[in-house]
Structure 1
């Protein structure tokens, strides 16, 4: 096929412990999916969701850029579901066995001030969520290695001070229900990622901050916030073993 210009290279994630790579398609992000207050009632409505472009995915290692156009840059740690099979109107009872390929640990980085401005006028969230390097992610762990994490600590610290801690068993809506919800709205594809929501404790990041986080049985990461607002981004991950 002839193209008007060379297409962008495929975004990939390393596969933990293997030499092959996981090809990333779309990035679906789930809104509030943990209780942020001890007595907070669970909503009967499915959570809201939004998209990031695949080019937002970068390695959760080294440095991530402090983005432009914000003075309130925030972290949100999340369990990430990697789909190996797509489809529409999926049966929740079959999703773990037939559609989930693996899991990873990710951050939904957010320009919180832009998000609050959008909320105030019922505007779109894309400027606050879909920017460069806004979805750092660890290597994908296949389910034949990690299984399906019904429980496991999820945590994040900044400069050695813990800010977020919960258990993935505290998700208000489990993985199977989230994927089924998305499949009723769009046809899911192999390579889609689903960021499943973040626990309480989200907060601001500043240039030079060291951010560590992880999920038991899935992986851990360590990144530093780079003060540069513009940097050249590579979307070809090195094939590494965590």
Structure 2
């Protein structure tokens, strides 16, 4: 591992969760709304409030639930959401789109990268990348289009299951391009770092509150997804130990799965 600590990014969808993540030691936040639905674009007002906490914020840009394929009008709505995020103080945006063939949507992805660059913020591809038909080719495309990183589990349901692919993606990436291991939890984090060699990890470290849905809910789930500051702090401690131990990160695991 490098001398500096791996980056710990926490995904949040409320001001309270953002505060908990910062208290636990998050280096960066990914801000969305409706995290339990996979995440949607947050409001500019929420973005301003979270950016005021003093850590870099990457804003998810996703105008609706459903598949990562968008009509041209939706692409332009998301252009405006990128501009809103930049004006609200975001350090970057997180986007992703696929075409009918399962490849990254070149027109949409290039458009969003250009808008982000023009606004002076980073552009990162989210886990639509993991659904693309060719991860190696998709990574090359993202680098050519000016993206600064990708959130990925290596095409697997979870980052630990995709650790070996994550290692290969990290080795493929050019200097400065961040391969951000997504969907991590404290348990398994040390092994993930050892097997993949990633220098940035991402998770929500959250749970629904209250644990049981209220008896009277009017047909809605009235629970809140809250980030647990202690889970974030536990992840931070694991990252600190891993960095101190300088475990070689490029050696593949020799055990049977």
- TM class by shorter-chain length? under 0.3
- TM-score, scaled to structure 1: 0.25
Which structure has more RCO (C-alpha within 8 Å, separation ≥ 6)? 1
Q: Please state which structure has a larger fraction of its residues in strand.
A: 1
